[in-house]
């Protein structure tokens, strides 16, 4: 157990639907990062939050949004889902915004049918 908790572990949903993925960072970590991992695109950075504020944005689609709550857990919302959104979604956390010390969760496997 890495200390980063992601729920649910698996999610199957239909095209056009909306889902919410949840991440609880390791205790004491203020920064949360979201990644999408697919076979053809590898591990792609989506978005980062630090202490409730958005700090960096990567290749995140407009249909996707995220937020970090006062208790530091984060949610990634995916809407108008397409077949191509099927992937593993990971979150990672770190204490600060430094260039080391990242801990990954075990991921949510999203399947869009």
Partner 1 sequence: SQQGEEDPQALSIQEGENATMNCSYKTSINNLQWYRQNSGRGLVHLILIRSNEREKHSGRLRVTLDTSKKSSSLLITASRAADTASYFCATALASGGSYIPTFGRGTSLIVHP
The residues of the shown chain that bind partner 1, judged by CB under 8 A, are: 2, 4, 31, 33, 42-43, 45, 48, 50, 55-56, 58, 88, 90, 92, 97-100, 102-107, 109
Least distance between partner 1 and beta carbon 33 (Å): 7
Of 19 and 35, which CB lies nearer to partner 1 in the complex structure? 35
Least distance between partner 1 and beta carbon 104 (Å): 4
Of 58 and 84, which CB lies nearer to partner 1 in the complex structure? 58
Of 20 and 106, which CB lies nearer to partner 1 in the complex structure? 106
Least distance between partner 1 and beta carbon 81 (Å): 20
Tell me the three-class secondary structure of the chain, residue by residue.
Answer: CCCCEEECCEEEECCCCCEEEEEECCCCCCEEEEEEEECCCEEEEEEEEECCEEEEECCCCCCEEEEECCCCCEEEEECCCCHHHCEEEEEEEECCCCCCCCEECCCEEEEEC
Least distance between partner 1 and beta carbon 80 (Å): 25
- DSSP-assigned beta bridge partners for residue 45: 35
């Amino acid at each position: 157990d890495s200390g980063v908790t992601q729920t649910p572990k698996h999610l199957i949903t239909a095209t056009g639907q909306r889902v919410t993925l949840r991440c609880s960072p390791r205790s004491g970590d203020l920064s949360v990062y979201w990644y999408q991992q697919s076979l053809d695109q590898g591990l792609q950075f989506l978005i980062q939050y630090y202490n409730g504020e958005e700090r960096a944005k990567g290749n995140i689609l407009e249909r996707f949004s995220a937020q970090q709550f006062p208790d530091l857990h984060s949610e990634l919302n995916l809407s108008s889902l397409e077949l191509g959104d099927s992937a593993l979604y990971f979150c990672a956390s770190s204490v600060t915004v430094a260039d080391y010390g990242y801990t990954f969760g075990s991921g949510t496997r999203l399947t869009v049918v």
